[in-house]
């Protein structure tokens, strides 16, 4: 059994194993969780109740999640003097599937963001954000139900690689000089510099994940969203590598948009997926004007960041938008919002983001009925207009529930 430096190991349950490229899920899987800072405490308490109730609803006493608390953020700092103890990343890596609430970004102390650090240390290269509408949620558009997309955002490179040089520093000056002298390109001397690396490896693995997801889940299209008309060797290359990968690895099951019209008269054969691409600026129009034509989106890091929040806002769901960060072997499911510290410990915050991240987690381990039970409970509760303060203030005739009461209503409605 795995051992830890500062925390005791889990008291019960079996680890999820990864054998020959496949997960083996025991009846009592150990799943590490990070409660999260600020409102994370209220949210986690409510979410865990919902998860346990859904598992019980579907499986009775046959199956059960054995939750294993691991620490990050303020709680870890108060207990161990560290924001992200090595035990935590070790546990997530070892047990393969974990879930977390929001974490405070420490100011100073050399950590840019705990979330970014977790993604980098565990090489969680795919940020997955499903965006769909729940009937009754207040939305700024006329037909929010037409948008139902899953965004696969590359998580490790692009301008997020953290290769930046501040204006006026000797590094920035040296770089500007080198680019001028050696490469013949002029940069204004008073510029800050950021580097945007996009690799074949990074591009192909995110497009591969998106295509595999589309095929496994019966989705019809994967659209690569890029700005390759301007940034030819980064975003343009992302697009080229995506098409190349589709041809190399998915020749039997994936066709291009050209193929669709020239060989299949525009009618997609069963079991096949179309790969295509759109320029990022046009994509922001498309998701507003023709949302039902989009399905799975594969993007470099920055485009995906912008697009996932824009899409989530369109369905009114920024406060209930779920997310996951995934590698080939590890899945870390997480709230997409922050710690909302002004509402901490008041039992008022909307726990929907972590609850729906849990749905993604149960789908990921193949417990799809559990995810369905939660979705049903949530849909009915929102349709009954029983909601937390954030939705309450935008809905007419709604009943305002506390975080804990909202969880209770979801459980009642399963």
Q: Which of 277, 295, 305, 390 is catalytic?
A: 305
Rounded-to-integer distance, Cα 317 and Cα 311, Å: 9
| Catalytic status, residue 281 | yes
Q: Check if the beta carbon of residue 30 is closer than 8 Å to that of residue 14.
A: yes
| Catalytic status, residue 306 | no
Q: How many residues bind ligand NAD (CB under 6 A)?
A: 18
Taking CB under 6 A as the rule, does residue 340 contact ligand NAD? yes
| Catalytic status, residue 305 | yes
Q: Which of 27, 281, 292, 328 is catalytic?
A: 281
Rounded-to-integer distance, Cα 27 and Cα 39, Å: 31
DSSP conformation class of 8:
P
DSSP conformation class of 338:
-
> What are phi and psi for residue 22, nearest 5 degrees?
-135, 145
Taking the complex as a whole, the smallest distance from the CB of residue 72 to ligand NAD amounts, in Å, to 9
Taking the complex as a whole, the smallest distance from the CB of residue 405 to ligand NAD amounts, in Å, to 14
Among 57, 66, 105, 231, binds ligand NAD (CB under 6 A): 105
Crossing angle for the helix pair 200-217 and 237-249, to the nearest 10 degrees: 50
Nearer to ligand NAD, 227 or 337 (CB): 337
Instruction: Identify the bridge partners of residue 277 per DSSP, sorted by sequence position.
Output: 224
HEC string of 94-132? HHCEEEECCCCCCCCCCCCCHHHHHHHHCCCCEEEEEEC
Taking CB under 6 A as the rule, does residue 339 contact ligand NAD? yes
Q: Which of 227, 277, 343, 364 is catalytic?
A: 227
Taking CB under 6 A as the rule, does residue 198 contact ligand NAD? no
Place of tokens 């499903």: 130
Token output for 243: 């098409």
Q: Check if the beta carbon of residue 185 is closer than 8 Å to that of residue 179.
A: yes
Which residue stretch of 99-107, 135-143, 153-161, 192-200 sits at the interface with ligand NAD (rule: CB under 6 A)?
99-107
| Catalytic status, residue 252 | no
Among 138, 302, 338, 402, binds ligand NAD (CB under 6 A): 338
Q: Which of 71, 133, 152, 160 is catalytic?
A: 160
Rounded-to-integer distance, Cα 110 and Cα 162, Å: 13
Residue nearest to ligand NAD (CB): 338
| Residue span 370-399 as binding mask against ligand NAD, x where in contact by CB under 6 A, dash where not | --------------------x---------
- Catalytically active residues, by annotation: 160, 227, 281, 305
Question: Which residues are near ligand NAD by CB under 6 A?
Answer: 102-105, 115, 319, 334-335, 337-342, 349-350, 353, 390
């Amino acid at each position: 059994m795995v051992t830890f430096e500062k925390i005791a190991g889990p008291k019960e349950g079996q680890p999820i194993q990864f054998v020959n490229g496949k997960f083996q899920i025991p009846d009592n899987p150990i799943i590490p969780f990070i409660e999260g800072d600020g409102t994370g405490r209220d949210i986690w308490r409510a979410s865990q109740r919902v998860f346990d109730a859904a598992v019980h609803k579907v499986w009775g006493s046959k199956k059960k999640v054995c939750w294993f608390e691991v620490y990050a953020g303020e709680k870890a700092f108060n207990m161990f003097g560290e924001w992200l103890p090595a035990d935590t990343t070790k546990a997530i890596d070892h047990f393969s599937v974990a879930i977390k609430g929001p974490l405070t970004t420490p100011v100073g102390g050399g950590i840019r963001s705990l979330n970014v650090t977790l993604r980098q240390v565990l090489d969680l290269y795919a940020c997955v954000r499903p965006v769909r509408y729940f009937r009754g949620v207040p939305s700024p558009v006329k037909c929010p139900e037409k948008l139902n997309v899953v965004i696969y955002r590359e998580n490790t490179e692009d301008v997020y690689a953290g290769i930046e040089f501040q204006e006026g520093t000797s590094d920035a000056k040296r770089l500007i000089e080198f680019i001028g002298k050696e490469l013949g390109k002029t940069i204004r001397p008073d510029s800050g510099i950021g580097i945007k690396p996009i690799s074949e490896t990074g591009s192909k693995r995110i497009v591969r994940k998106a295509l595999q997801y589309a095929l496994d889940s019966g989705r019809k299209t994967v659209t690569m969203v890029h700005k390759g008309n301007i940034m030819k060797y980064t975003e343009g290359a992302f697009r080229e590598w995506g098409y190349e990968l589709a041809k190399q690895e998915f020749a039997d099951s994936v066709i291009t948009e050209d193929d669709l019209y020239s060989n299949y008269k525009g009618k997609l054969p069963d079991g096949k997926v179309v790969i295509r691409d759109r320029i990022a600026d046009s994509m922001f129009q498309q998701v507003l004007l023709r949302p039902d034509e989009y399905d799975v989106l594969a993007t470099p890091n920055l485009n995906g960041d912008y697009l996932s929040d824009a899409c989530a806002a369109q369905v009114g769901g920024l406060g209930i938008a779920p997310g996951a960060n995934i590698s080939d072997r590890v899945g870390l499911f997480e709230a997409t919002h922050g710690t909302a510290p002004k509402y901490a410990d008041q039992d008022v915050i909307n726990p929907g983001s972590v609850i729906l991240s849990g749905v993604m987690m149960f789908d990921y381990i193949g417990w799809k009925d559990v995810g369905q039970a939660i979705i049903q409970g949530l849909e009915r509760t929102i349709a009954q207009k029983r909601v937390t303060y954030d939705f309450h203030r935008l809905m007419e005739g709604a009943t305002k529930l506390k975080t804990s009461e909202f969880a209770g209503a979801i459980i009642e409605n399963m």
